[in-house]
């Protein structure tokens, strides 16, 4: 026979459970929606999809030229600046937007903290459970459940690889060149060298998918210097064509790399990236 004290404890537990589940819908108590983690300033916070959509600062944002969908889109979204929880980032810090597929965007904090009407403003778009977004072009998934979108991106030079979709984490990190010195060009290069400019473009546009000399957080694409640099086995014209239209050079069923047309990556910036890669072929790190 159950002891009276244990029976009383069991009764209280059942009553507590009844009160708990009676105070909220059963599906809310049992269902665990997707979450986004933000780790900045020594604190890690987890945001639930439904809680984000219920925030008082959630708004509808219209994106006339969505980078990922290639057409106008509208989202319920929260200003990213209000989610970061701080405006105090050390000099040289970056935010990494890490997607569930290994894509990792490099995001300057000063850009993500903007809220005024005279420049780009970052929003975290949240995909509602009952109104899913369409699949991305050529894919069987949407950009959700979390997608970083920009209002007026052209006003602040936001690049195509700074729109990470299927976002899982936003993490504060050191400047990539401080974190990974093996990305650095020869120190004696002039400050206005196109190779140095190519280094900056590479960090923003290419490190979202690739590593170089083992440096970087992304896991989608191969390392672009080890064991061989693409400038060692492709002509400059072939490499540029690969960047512009990968499927015109080689293709396979699991191919993921998109093309970068001149509206996204200018001819001048492409030349700079190729110059940087050619330079780094002579600076392989073990």
In tens, the pLDDT along 32-51 reads: 689 999 999 889 999 999 99
Vertex 216: Cα angle to 210 and 222 (nearest 5): 25
Average pLDDT over residues 55-78: 97
pLDDT of residue 3: 37
In tens, the pLDDT along 79-95 reads: 999 999 888 898 889 99
User: Span 35-174: which CATH code?
Assistant: 3.90.420.10
Average pLDDT over residues 73-78: 98
Cα 283 from chain centre: 28
Q: Where in the chain is CATH 2.60.40.420?
A: 178-280
pTM: 0.81
Q: Residue 126 above 70 pLDDT?
A: yes
What sign for the dihedral angle of Cα 177, 40, 219, 154? Answer: negative
Vertex 173: Cα angle to 154 and 266 (nearest 5): 30
In tens, the pLDDT along 212-270 reads: 999 998 888 999 999 999 999 999 999 999 999 999 998 888 778 888 989 889 999 99
Q: Residue 30 above 50 pLDDT?
A: no
In tens, the pLDDT along 4-26 reads: 333 333 333 333 333 333 333 33
Cβ atoms of 145 and 126 within 8 Å: the answer is yes
- Distance CA(124)–CA(257), nearest Å, equals 24
Q: Of 35, 58, 32, which is closest to residue 170 (Cα–Cα)?
A: 35
Axis crossing angle, helix 267-280 with helix 194-201, rounded to the nearest 10: 100
pLDDT of residue 64: 97
Q: Where in the chain is CATH 3.90.420.10?
A: 35-174
Class of domain 178-280: mainly beta
pLDDT of residue 132: 97
Q: In 79-99, which positions are buried (b, 16+ CB within 10 angstroms) versus exposed (e)?
A: bbbebbeeeebeeebbbbbbb
- List of residues 6+ apart from 19 with CB closer than 8 A: none
pLDDT of residue 32: 64
- Distance CA(57)–CA(79), nearest Å, equals 7
């Amino acid at each position: 026979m159950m002891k009276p004290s244990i029976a009383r404890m069991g009764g209280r537990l059942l009553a507590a459970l009844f009160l708990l589940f009676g105070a909220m819908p059963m599906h809310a108590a049992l269902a665990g929606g997707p979450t986004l983690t933000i780790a900045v300033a020594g604190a890690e916070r987890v945001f639930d999809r439904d809680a984000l959509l219920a925030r008082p600062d959630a708004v509808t944002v219209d994106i006339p030229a969505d980078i990922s969908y290639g057409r106008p889109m509208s989202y319920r979204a929260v200003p990213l600046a209000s989610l970061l929880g701080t405006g105090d980032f050390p000099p040289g810090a970056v935010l990494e937007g890490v997607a569930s597929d290994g894509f990792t965007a490099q995001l300057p904090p000063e850009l993500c903290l903007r809220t005024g009407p005279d420049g780009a403003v970052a929003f975290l778009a949240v995909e509602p459970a009952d109104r899913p977004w369409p699949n991305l072009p050529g894919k069987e998934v949407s950009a959700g459940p979390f997608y970083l979108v920009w209002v007026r991106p052209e006003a602040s030079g936001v690049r195509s690889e700074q729109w990470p979709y299927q976002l899982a984490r936003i993490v504060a990190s050191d400047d990539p060149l401080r974190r990974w010195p093996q990305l650095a060009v020869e120190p004696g290069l002039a400050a206005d060298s196109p190779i140095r400019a190519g280094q900056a473009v590479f960090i923003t546009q290419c490190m979202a998918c690739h590593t170089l000399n083992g440096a970087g957080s992304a896991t989608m694409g191969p390392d672009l210097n080890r064991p061989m640099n693409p400038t060692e086995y492709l002509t400059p014209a072939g490499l540029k064509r690969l960047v512009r239209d990968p499927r015109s050079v080689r293709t396979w069923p699991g191919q993921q790399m998109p093309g970068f047309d001149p509206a996204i990556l200018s001819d001048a910036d492409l030349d700079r990236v190729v110059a940087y890669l050619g330079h780094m072929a002579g600076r392989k790190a073990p």
